[in-house]
Amino acid sequence: MASFSVRGTAQQATKDSVLVEILLSKGMLKTIQDITLVPSIDITPEGFILLSSSNQFYVLGLGGMLPLSEKMEAPIRSFAETPDNAIMFVQEKKLCFLDSLGKMVKLFGLPDDSMKISAGKEVLYLYGKNNLTGKYVIYILFKRAKYISLLEYPDSITSVLEISGDLFFSSKNKIMLVDIKNKQINELLSLPDENDEILSIDNDYVHGVLYFSTNKAVYRIGNDNQIGLVNNEFGGIVKYDGEGLLVFNPEKSLIVRFKNNSLY
């Protein structure tokens, strides 16, 4: 991989907004090539931002968007860096990974082509609709072996996050907490507007803060268990990278970072 570092442009969006770094914008992306990004984001072991179009993986850094894989024929749906630093992804109705040459290797088939993937500390989670039952399912994948069902849920699941052995997932305007041992599901929080769908959740492992987002806003929950507003000018997918909170809006090809000193 080429040697470079992630760098953004600090910019004040409005008088009352906090200072953020713009790491990617639609204008910056078009100077490279006009592509549509998949609504998935992760951080590589080297600290770069991992993104993908429908048919190719990229890393984002000082040199721009650099290809990380060969182009693929079938569309990429969702991806994640695994605990052993491999890139695992969903492509149509199959789970795949990238080999050392950036080529796609198929592992096994999946029940639906809309499934998503999330990495835990030691395992992977697959989630999506099981067309045979009509219910939404979270599966656990152990060491790239065949997956097993963890739980079923009546509504669509938009994000899954493991924190210190606890499992969280978002559905509609709610975040749920799962007791994995007993497979009990408890509601952690819900937004007042039932149509305000929570898209993404992530954990600030430095400060012990849970972040979640909708299309319109980004929120935080600290040790006081109170919901605080981070930003209400735009939303997207959230990812904490150690330096701050990344917010990725794939429709706008926008990635910004709220720095740690602007979050607290």
Kindly state whether residue 47 falls inside one of the protein's structural domains: no
Q: What is the pLDDT of residues 32-49, one digit of tens each?
A: 666 889 999 999 988 899
Q: Tell me, what CATH number does 135's domain have?
A: 2.130.10.10
**Domain end point (choices 193, 223, 240):** 193
More confident residue, 17 or 200: 200
With a cut of 90, say whether residue 200 has pLDDT above it.
Answer: yes
- The reply to whether 205 and 182 lie within a common domain is no
Domain that holds residue 106: 69-193
Kindly state whether residue 50 falls inside one of the protein's structural domains: no
Distance between CA atoms of residues 62 and 74, nearest Å:
29
Distance between CA atoms of residues 210 and 205, nearest Å:
9
pLDDT number for residue 30? 67
Residues with Cβ within 8 Å of residue 225, at least 6 apart in sequence: none
Kindly state whether residue 41 falls inside one of the protein's structural domains: no
Kindly state whether residue 51 falls inside one of the protein's structural domains: no
Burial of 169 (0-12, 13-18, 19+ CB in 10 A): buried
Query: How many folded domains does the chain comprise?
Result: 2
- The reply to whether 169 and 88 lie within a common domain is yes
Average pLDDT over residues 143-163: 89
**Domain end point (choices 175, 193, 211):** 193
- The reply to whether 134 and 149 lie within a common domain is yes
Kindly state whether residue 63 falls inside one of the protein's structural domains: no
- The reply to whether 187 and 74 lie within a common domain is yes
With a cut of 50, say whether residue 228 has pLDDT above it.
Answer: yes
With a cut of 60, say whether residue 10 has pLDDT above it.
Answer: no
CB atoms under 10 Å from CB of 217, counted, come to 17
- The reply to whether 182 and 210 lie within a common domain is no
pLDDT range class, residue 101, cuts 50, 70, 90: confident
**Domain end point (choices 136, 166, 193):** 193
